[in-house]
Structure 1
Amino acid sequence: MTVGANESANRRDFLTKKAKEKRTIRERGFLWETRNRIFAWYGILMTGFIGISVPIFSELVFNRVDTRVREDLVEELETFESFVAQRSSDSDTFTEGDLKKIFQEFLYRQIPEDDTFLITFLNGRFYRSSPRGRPELLQEESELMRRWAKLTKKEQGEEKTSDPELGNILYLATPVIIDGQARGALVIAHTTAGEIQEATEVIIIVCYVLLVGLVLALILAWAASGKILVPLRSIASTARLISESNLNKRIPVQSSGEMGELATTFNKMLDRLQAALTTQKAFINDAGHELRTPIAIVRGHLELIGDDPQEQRETIELVIDELDRMNRIVDDLILLAKSERPDCLQLETIDISLLTQELYTKATALADRNWQLDAQATGLIVGDRQRLTQAVMNLTENAVQYTTETDTIAIGTAIGSNYVRLWVRDTGVGIAECDRERIFERFARASNSRRRSDGSGLGLSIVKAIAQAHGGRVELVSQLGIGSTFTLVLPLEPPQEKFRRK
């Protein structure tokens, strides 16, 4: 009944959050949502592109039409001049009658293009044209025709009109010279209304196509933007389902691109948060358990303390001892917390040979054991001398607790090309294989533990944290009944120092 009530409450909270988010989106406006903004920008860019493209396209089409018409006029004129040159070379004399025959034969043979007019003049008067039907502006009595009839040199131009069915008139005119005088003329005229209409129809069709394309592009952009943003919605919905008590949700990775990378990064972040939360919970539980015992002891003895001075003295000594143990636990916890910060180390250049001798000297004072110095490396390393000493001494104290007076404890160092190794070896009880990973956890105890001290259970955790802070690791080789070897494998130069030098 309680589980069902919790599920209903969670569902109700989720729906309430969803409703609040929708209301917030409505309050922020249409363009606040990413999909709408992408769609709006895409629409603006596409519309602007079409708005710029249509005038440019229109100008290019009209210029192309004008160029083609002028080229046709030049081609017609070259044909006429070639025809006149051929006919004039056939006879020794070239008379006015010959010119009439030339005009007649040329107009008969040459079929003009649509809206093109071949107009001939003889002795300052209109003679013939092809085709015969001409617009009003090209009638015999018009001012333009009278001007062409008096041509004495080549002329090319454009006559503007107000007639939309006629358009402007592009023309190319050349006189025919006989005995040094202009006896006739040929005018090739073209009205532009037809080309303009055809070009306009083409532009209209292109505009329709572009508009249809714009609509289809916007529809596809709306659908594509929705599909692209699916991982973002998935992230948002997953984030809404995540709470401090539930970090199990993950986003499905469906691509290897930016969205896939985003989903992968988000999932890794959740993994780290879940691991941190799990560690935090375990740490709080273990720390509470470890601190609860000395607190209970202190409180129990203080509540039962009597008036006897001897009893009071013994109780005070016991209380002070428990408070010291609690203080050690707190100090160790603070050290572990600091070890996760990038500035936890005070790096310096260390002579490994002198450090090895110092470690060995300090270790021999801990207890009566068969102490040995396995190896003493020579060279310089970069590290935090105090933290390295603390790590090795923690390993040494751990070895003392698992050995007897007849057992051997050895310390040694060695330098390779990239790493330095510091180890503590003992011939004690050894560590079971199932405990070799767990003993580095906070407050962990080996299953076969026969510890002779009431330490905090944080020693090996501190060793591991110091090694990781130096960019290294801790290696363990152990066998039950034979002994254990703990080795710090550290780079000669920690990552923090390399980064600082760069």
Structure 2
Amino acid sequence: MVVGTEEGTTIATDAVEPVPGARRAGRATAARTRIVGWVLLLVLLSLGVVTLVTWVLLINETDRRIDESLDAEIAEFARVTETGVNPTTGQPYGSVDEILRSVIAANVSRPNEKFLGYLDGRFRWESRRTSPRVLLRADPGFTALVADVRRPARGSHPTEAGEVRWAALPVGLAGDPSRGVIVIGYFTEQEHEFADEAARLMGIVGVGTALLSAVGAWLVAGRILRPLRDVAATARTITGSDLSSRVPQRDRARDEIAELATTLNAMLDRVQSGVVSQRRFVDDAGHELRTPITIVRGHLGVLDATDPADVRETVALVDDELERMNRLVSEMLALTRAEQPSLLRLETVDTAALTRELFDKLTGLADRDWRLESVAAVRVRMDPQRITQAVVALADNATRFTGAGDRIALGSEVAGDRLRIWVADSGPGVAPEDRRRVFRRFARGEDAPRSDGAGLGLSIVDAIATTHGGRVLLESTPGHGATFTLDLPRSET
């Protein structure tokens, strides 16, 4: 685990025990199963709602049709009986009983429909269709309900075959004291069988559709979760000694998972950069501090505590070595911070003003012929503190290779989409074989004068330029000076 701070980065290299493969597979399957389960539940709920609504609509439509049929039958019977003429013989009716028999015999009932005739409160006639096989004439409750109505009526009655909706029409004839009733009955549950069958069929089709949806969801969930499995697999390969693995990214992917992979890779880049810098810092510190520590221990081991002169000399030597170690640690910390992009504090900077401020600061470094050659009038996004640190380091390096009265120039300019800030001197220059080596840690040119520094100044400058997305350029002709240039991207706002 790596924890970043303002002063640097702390490393904990304790490896986390990998999750067993069976447990990882179980977790992946569990996530996939939950996705499929929720999809299946939503599909079943949707199909259930659709089936229920469809069934209710069909039932309502059937009931409406039954009611319309009852109204039509009653109207037809009323029309026939009001004429007083038997449509079969063309003669006037002779009795109410004849009316009942003639009307019921002349009309063919539909499936699940019954015509009944009652005379003086008792069953007399019934239509020939017998489906369903329930004898309404034998039902005393139904007879009591409809056999003696005095005006048109409607209602419903429960039977062994389910609900019966009925309509009754009283019938009379002048000169005949008998009272008749024509009854039309509909067995509604049989009429509802179509709606029930449609609902059952929709249920079967719905279950099949849900199963197909579950299969499709399982496959789709696998494709969706595959990048997440790649993330987990990559995370498992990262250890304290290997931070090079990255999450595979799909070409042209622009979804949330692709964004997650990009973000994780960027995070891993930052972590790896921090760890590499930290390891390099530790290695450099161990390498460079070993010598002064050995010197101090060697002199303290032979110190004669009874000899004041020896004590004074040893204390002076130890103090000098400790001061050198302090400068070394400070420069290494500065280099480590310079290599951390996350520690940059970017802001929009007026380059012209910054260049003039830098020139005013540099003139106090040493007695040289300081010159301000050019100023770039442009606003650029940068960390002014880090850029100031880099330019001061370049100028300080120039003073080490020049003498009193020698020229050191500062300037800035815009070249296309780049901003360049340079420090040029009239010193001995840098030999071609040293141009790459001078930017390495603890490296100096072959002809470099003795210095109290640790040889990290140009490494710090290079790190600052790199974290800004730029580079350091070196132009030099031996015997005619050197020019170090910060070549930075021009990012204006």
Tell me what 1:283 maps to: 281
User: Does residue 190 of structure 1 match 2:186?
Assistant: yes
User: Does residue 173 of structure 1 match 2:196?
Assistant: no
Aligned runs of 1:23-422 on 2, under 5 Å? Answer: 33-39=30-36, 41=38, 59-80=56-77, 96-97=93-94, 110-120=107-117, 128-131=125-128, 133=130, 137-139=135-137, 142=140, 144-145=142-143, 147-161=145-159, 163=160, 166-175=161-170, 185-218=181-214, 220-222=216-218, 224-254=220-250, 256=253, 257-299=255-297, 319-337=318-336, 340=340, 359-375=358-374, 389-403=388-402, 407-412=406-411
Distance 1:188 1:345, change over 3 A: closer
- Secondary structure of 2:156 counterpart: strand
Deviations 1:42-68 (A, max 9, x none): 566566667777766655554443333
Shift of 1:369: 3.4
Shift of 1:420: 8.9
Contact 1:153-1:174 at 8 Å conserved across structures:
yes
Cα distance in 1, alignment partners of residues 172 and 426 from structure 2: 129
Amino acid at match of 1:270: L
Cα distance in 2, alignment partners of residues 349 and 132 from structure 1: 101
Cα distance in 1, alignment partners of residues 274 and 434 from structure 2: 22
Distance 1:312 1:380, change over 3 A: farther
Distance 1:249 1:468, change over 3 A: closer
Cα distance in 1, alignment partners of residues 94 and 435 from structure 2: 125
- Secondary structure of 1:168 counterpart: strand
Which structure has the higher relative contact order (CA within 8 Å, separation 6+)? 2
Contact 1:428-1:484 at 8 Å conserved across structures:
no
Gaps (5+ residues) in structure 1? Answer: 1-13, 496-502
- Secondary structure of 2:162 counterpart: coil
Shift of 1:320: 3.8
Amino acid at match of 1:34: A
Aligned pair count reads 465
Cα distance in 2, alignment partners of residues 51 and 202 from structure 1: 13
User: Does residue 424 of structure 1 match 2:455?
Assistant: no
Amino acid at match of 2:240: E
Shift of 1:326: 1.7
Deviations 1:208-243 (A, max 9, x none): 444454555445545554454333333333333332
Amino acid at match of 1:112: S
Deviations 1:103-156 (A, max 9, x none): 777656643321112335578776644336485543288453465343332212
- Which stretch has the larger CA shift, 338-347 or 443-452? 338-347
Contact 1:252-1:263 at 8 Å conserved across structures:
yes
Cα-Cα RMSD = 5.4
Gaps (5+ residues) in structure 2? Answer: 1-14
TM-score (norm. length: structure 1): 0.68
Contact 2:78-2:169 at 8 Å conserved across structures:
no
Shift of 1:378: 9.2
Cα distance in 2, alignment partners of residues 127 and 188 from structure 1: 14
Cα distance in 2, alignment partners of residues 94 and 408 from structure 1: 142
Distance 1:446 1:118, change over 3 A: farther
Distance 1:437 1:274, change over 3 A: farther
- Secondary structure of 1:323 counterpart: helix
Contact 2:119-2:178 at 8 Å conserved across structures:
no
Amino acid at match of 2:283: N
Distance 1:197 1:393, change over 3 A: closer
Distance 1:25 1:400, change over 3 A: same
Distance 1:440 1:87, change over 3 A: farther
Contact 1:346-1:383 at 8 Å conserved across structures:
yes
Shift of 1:158: 0.7
Tell me what 1:5 maps to: none
- Secondary structure of 1:394 counterpart: helix
Cα distance in 1, alignment partners of residues 429 and 174 from structure 2: 131
Aligned runs of 1:461-480 on 2, under 5 Å? Answer: 461-463=459-461, 476-480=472-476
Deviations 1:234-275 (A, max 9, x none): 333333333222233344334734444434443443333333
- Secondary structure of 1:456 counterpart: coil
Cα distance in 2, alignment partners of residues 139 and 379 from structure 1: 107
- Which stretch has the larger CA shift, 399-408 or 379-388? 379-388
Cα distance in 2, alignment partners of residues 36 and 209 from structure 1: 23
Amino acid at match of 1:253: Q
Deviations 1:449-485 (A, max 9, x none): 735524223324444666789xx56654432316314
- Secondary structure of 2:288 counterpart: helix
Shift of 1:371: 2.0
Contact 1:115-1:190 at 8 Å conserved across structures:
yes
Contact 1:360-1:373 at 8 Å conserved across structures:
yes
Cα distance in 2, alignment partners of residues 141 and 37 from structure 1: 57
Contact 1:438-1:444 at 8 Å conserved across structures:
no
- Which stretch has the larger CA shift, 429-438 or 111-120? 429-438
Cα distance in 2, alignment partners of residues 174 and 223 from structure 1: 65
Cα distance in 1, alignment partners of residues 211 and 357 from structure 2: 81
